[in-house]
């Protein structure tokens, strides 16, 4: 039996309890977690914005040590340090064939299959196929990535979602070039990763925007050159900071219609807006046909940073070893499993960067 934070029903409080985790089956790996990041997507699963069978163990951003492997597992062995890949590509679907593993049609297949049981025998589902809000988890072989040397195991949990997403938004989706200006909307864990990635890419002005004035210190430490508290007229203020034209690139990390619209409005003619925030189906954004023609801007969705984790993780590790990327600076709270509800409340209140569950 292991301890886990269980979501008994959508909208219900998490329950810290013991669960029965089976031995890994064929093609599966069991991992003892060192740490798990608390991501806004977990909150979206808990409140029903994203669909997830319940009862479930949430958490998808994690790192730990392999303790056991099932039959036919290759590439990892007990004792190996690994990062959890919450969207493991199958390698054989239409999108994988196009070289777009972040869109894999089968990446979420595991989320709908029970993987463990509660102490009283009820079937449990793994949130986003990962279930890292627990001392240990069992995942498919494809869902573990060997941790490169020189990366602290605890902080490496952030690589599993926030950092890959933020890095990819800048380098793969927006394709930021040296000297370009970047506006970042929403300075949580992903937003801080976007700022660091923009700095690594050699961006010029990096304008951070958030509803909370308390985020300014975090944003500037990550590399923001300017900070704005979100309000009416934010786009106008960004244009003033970027030569009167608007930012070359805007990255939206919130997932709200008004923020997506503000990000779009803040870019110059011909600018690029990348949306990484996950919003609800009722968050509708509207544009006139004339403005689409006149401004010539590009609006792009971005799933998992458009990353191939197996390709990008070694690149990120090199940035960490060379002190260009600071994982620890993104962590504002180190908590236990019982601290996850308070971390959810902090997200709703717009406080902090990334809370990290440390086992």
Phi, psi of 162 (to 5 degrees): -55, -45
In this prediction, residue 352 has a pLDDT band, given cuts at 50, 70 and 90, of confident
Average pLDDT over residues 174-188: 97
Residue 162 CB coordination number (10 Å): 27
Domain ranges in the chain are 2-147+327-358, 166-303
- Please report the pLDDT score of residue 174 as a whole number: 97
**pLDDT, tens digit, for every residue of 217-259?**
999 999 999 999 999 899 999 999 999 999 999 999 999 999 9
* Angle at 27 (CA atoms; ends 26, 31), nearest 5 degrees: 105
| Helix, coil or strand: residue 307 | coil
Please determine, looking at this structure, whether the domain spanning 166-303 carries the CATH number 3.40.50.720: yes
Whether the pLDDT of residue 351 is over 90: the answer is: no
Work out the percent of the chain whose per-residue pLDDT is above 70: 100
- Please report the pLDDT score of residue 313 as a whole number: 96
Whether the pLDDT of residue 72 is over 80: the answer is: yes
* Angle at 89 (CA atoms; ends 88, 91), nearest 5 degrees: 145
Average pLDDT over residues 184-193: 96
Average pLDDT over residues 181-189: 97
**pLDDT, tens digit, for every residue of 290-322?**
999 999 999 999 999 999 999 999 999 999 999
Residue 85 CB coordination number (10 Å): 27
- Please report the pLDDT score of residue 179 as a whole number: 98
- Please report the pLDDT score of residue 191 as a whole number: 97
Enter the tokens of residue 174.
């927006």
In this prediction, residue 348 has a pLDDT band, given cuts at 50, 70 and 90, of confident
* Domain 2-147+327-358 in this protein, CATH class: alpha beta
- Please report the pLDDT score of residue 280 as a whole number: 86
Average pLDDT over residues 67-75: 95
């Amino acid at each position: 039996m292991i301890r886990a934070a269980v979501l008994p029903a959508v909208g219900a409080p998490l329950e810290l309890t013991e669960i029965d985790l089976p031995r890994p089956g064929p093609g599966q790996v069991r991992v003892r977690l060192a740490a798990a990041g608390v991501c806004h997507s977990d909150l979206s699963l808990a409140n029903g914005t994203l669909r997830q069978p319940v009862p479930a163990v949430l958490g998808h951003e994690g790192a730990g040590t392999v303790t056991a492997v099932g039959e036919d597992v290759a590439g990892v062995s007990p004792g190996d340090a690994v990062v959890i890949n919450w969207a493991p590509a199958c390698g054989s679907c239409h999108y994988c064939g196009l070289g777009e593993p972040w869109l894999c049609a089968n990446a979420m297949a595991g989320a709908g299959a029970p993987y463990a049981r509660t102490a009283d025998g009820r079937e449990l589902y793994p949130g986003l196929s990962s279930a890292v809000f627990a001392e240990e988890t069992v995942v498919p072989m494809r869902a573990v990535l060997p941790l490169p040397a020189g990366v602290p195991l605890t902080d490496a949990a952030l690589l599993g979602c926030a950092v890959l997403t933020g890095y990819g938004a800048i380098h793969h989706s927006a394709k930021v070039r040296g000297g370009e200006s970047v506006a970042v909307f929403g300075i949580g864990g992903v937003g801080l990763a976007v700022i660091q990635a923009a700095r690594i890419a050699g961006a010029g002005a990096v304008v951070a925007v958030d509803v909370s004035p308390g985020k300014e210190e975090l944003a500037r430490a990550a590399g923001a050159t300017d900070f704005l508290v979100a309000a009416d007229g934010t786009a106008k203020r960004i244009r003033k900071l970027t030569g009167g034209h608007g930012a070359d690139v805007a990255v939206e990390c919130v997932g709200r219609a008004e923020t997506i619209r503000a990000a779009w409005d803040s870019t110059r003619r011909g600018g690029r807006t990348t949306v990484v925030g996950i919003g609800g189906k009722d968050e509708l954004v509207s544009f006139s046909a004339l403005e689409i023609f006149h401004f010539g801007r590009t609006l792009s969705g971005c799933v998992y940073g458009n990353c191939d984790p197996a390709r990008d993780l070694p690149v990120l590790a090199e940035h960490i070893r060379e002190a260009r990327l600071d994982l620890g600076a993104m962590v504002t709270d180190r908590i236990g499993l019982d601290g996850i509800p308070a971390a959810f409340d902090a997200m709703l209140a717009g406080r902090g960067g990334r809370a990290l569950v440390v086992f």
